[in-house]
Structure 1
Amino acid sequence: MSSKVAVLGAGSWGSALANVLVENGHQVNIWTREEKQKNEINTNHTNEHYLPEFKFPDELVATTDLKQAVMNAEAILVVIPTNGIRQLARKLNDTLDRKVTIIHASKGLERETHKRISVILNEELSAKKTEGIVALSGPSHAEEVINHDLTTITAASLNLERAKFVQKLFLNDYFRVYTNPDIIGVEIGAALKNIIAIGAGVIAGLGYGDNAKAGLVTRGLAEISRLGVEMGADPLTFMGLSGVGDLIVTCTSPHSRNWRAGHQLGEGKAIKTVLSNMGMVVEGVSTTQAAFELAKEHAIEMPITEAIYDVLYNDAEVKQVISHLMQREGKAE
C-alpha cells in the first residue's frame, strides 16, 4: 500500500532513504534548504555532492518549501545533523495541522543539553501533531544502500504499532527492518558509535592493525553499554544492530565520515583542518563533547571517550593519549 512520506534533509543518508521509499512505491517529497540542490534533484535527478554518479527515480520530488514537503504526508522522516533538529522541529510544529508518524534517522546527542533526538522531538512537537516517534538506525552506509547492498536496520519506538508501520514502509528484498521497543538503547548506540569510529580512524591513520582495532571496538562497546544502561537502556540492545552492528560498519569503512576524520587526525592533521576538508557534518565531534560531559555527570568511566575528547578539544597529542590509555592501571575485564 502506497503512502506519502516527507523526507527532511537531502544529505547522503536522507537521499538514500528517500530512494528506498520511492522504489517501494511511496510518494516522496525531499526537503532541502538549498535552491541549487532542489533544482539538481528535480532536473538532473542527481545529488552529486553527496551521492556522485547515482541517478534517482524521476518520481522523487525535491522542494525548499517545508509546508509543501509535509502536505498530506502520513510520515515525516527527519535526517539532518543533530544540532539543527530542535529548530526544525519547532518549524514543523508550526506547520503541521494534523497527526503524523515522525521518524528520525539522525545519529547524535544535542551538544548543549545532551538529549537524545526523540526527546528533542517530543519536547518541540505537540502531542496533537504526532502519532508516535520512531528512530531508524543500524549498520548502513548510504553509498551501499543506493546500490542495493543487503542492509539490516532497526525501527525503535515506544509505540510498537508505529514501529511496525515504519518497518512496512521500508522493508524490501535488499533493505530489512527489525522493530525494537528500546528507543533509548538504539539512540545511544547510534550516537556513541561515532566517537569510537573516530578512534578507529585514528588507529588506522597511525598505521596500527587489526589487534588495535578489535581492542578499541570491544572496549568502546563496553563504554557505550555502561552509559546506555545508566540512562535506562536494555543492555541487550547493544548486542544488536544499533550496537555492535553499527560499530562494525562505522569503525571499519572509509565510507564513514567519522572514520575518515579520525584517519586524518592519525595522520597528524589538526581538527580544524580535518573538518574543513570533510564537506559534511562529522556528528562524532559534537557527540564526543556531549558524551564526555554525560559521563562526568553520571560518574561513568569512559576512558576512550575521554581520550578522544582530549584530542578534539584539548589539542592533546594522539600518540601520547594512546600511550596513556595503554598504561592505565590493570583491571578485570
Structure 2
Amino acid sequence: MSATLVHGQGTRVGFYATTCPRAESIVSSTVATQFRANPAIAPALLRMHFHDCFVRGCDASVLIDDSNTEKTAPPNLGLRGYEVIDDAKTQLEAACPGIVSCADILALAARDSVVLLAYSIFVHTGGRSWLVPTGRRDGRVSLSSETTDLPGFRESIDSQKQKFSAKGLNTQDLVVLVGGHTIGTTACQFFSYRLYNFNGTASSDPSINASFLPQLQALCPQNGDGTKRVAFDTGSENRFDASFFANLRNGRGILESDQKLWTDASTRAIVQRFLGITGLAAFNVEFGRSMVKMSNTGVKTGTDGEIRKICSAVNS
C-alpha cells in the first residue's frame, strides 16, 4: 500500500507505538467490520472528521452529546457513524485504558474509510493511504453556535477560502479536501433550488449541464422528498477516485459550492490538475497531505484537554 508521510504539529506518527501498540489496527479493523455491514459508513466518517476539525480544531468536540452541542446544530444533524467511533473506543479502553483519544480514533477512522474505497492506478500497491500523526487529546467544550465555521452548500469561493484560511489551509487544500465528495451522498434539500427557480429566475442554475438537468430533476422532483439522497459524484460514488473533478468540468457538480470550484477562475486551474490519469495520481498524493494538514488544525496535545473515557461525554 502506498503512503503519504507528512509530519504534524505537536503530533507524530506512531504516538501509541509503546503505550497501545494495537491502537491503529483496532481502529482499522473496526472500520472494516462496520464497512462490510454498511459501506455508506466510509464517507460518513470522512465527513465527520472534517466537521470536527472545522470547529474548535480536531478535538472530537463533534462527538459530545448534550443540549446545544455541535452535534445538535443544523450542519451536523445529518452526520452518521458515531457508533463506529464508540465501538472502536470500547475496544481500545479494554486494551489500553485511558490512552487513546477519541480525536485520534476519528482521524484514523477517516483515513481507513478512504482506503476502503480508494481506487489506485498502481495495481500492485492497493488503495491510497497516508500516515496519520497521532497524539491529539480531546476537547471539553462543544457549542452549536460555533458551527458557523463550517462552509455552507451555497458558499462563494471567496468565503470558502476565508474559512479554510482561518484553519491554516490554502486554496489548493480547499479544492483537494472538497474532492472528498468523490464519495458519499447529499440530500435533495441542499441543491434542489438549483433545479427549478435558481435565484428567483424561474429557471435552473446555468452552470448545470443541460443534459444532466433532467436526470437531477427526476431524482429530486419539485416539491418532492427533500431528504432523498443523491450521490455527489455521479457514476462513481462508491470509489475514491478523481472523477469528481471531471464532473465539475462537465457541469455535473451537485452542490452549488462544489460547482463553483470550476466556474471560479482561481480554483479552476487547481481542478484541472486533477483531471485524467496523471490527475488521479496527483490527487491521491495531495489528498493525504491536505488531510494531515487539516487533522492538525487546533489540536490539543501534551496536558491540554483530556482522554475521554467515552467519546460522547467529557470526563466527570
Range class of TM-score, shorter chain: under 0.3
Higher relative contact order (CA 8 A, sep 6+): 2
TM-score normalised over the length of structure 1: 0.25
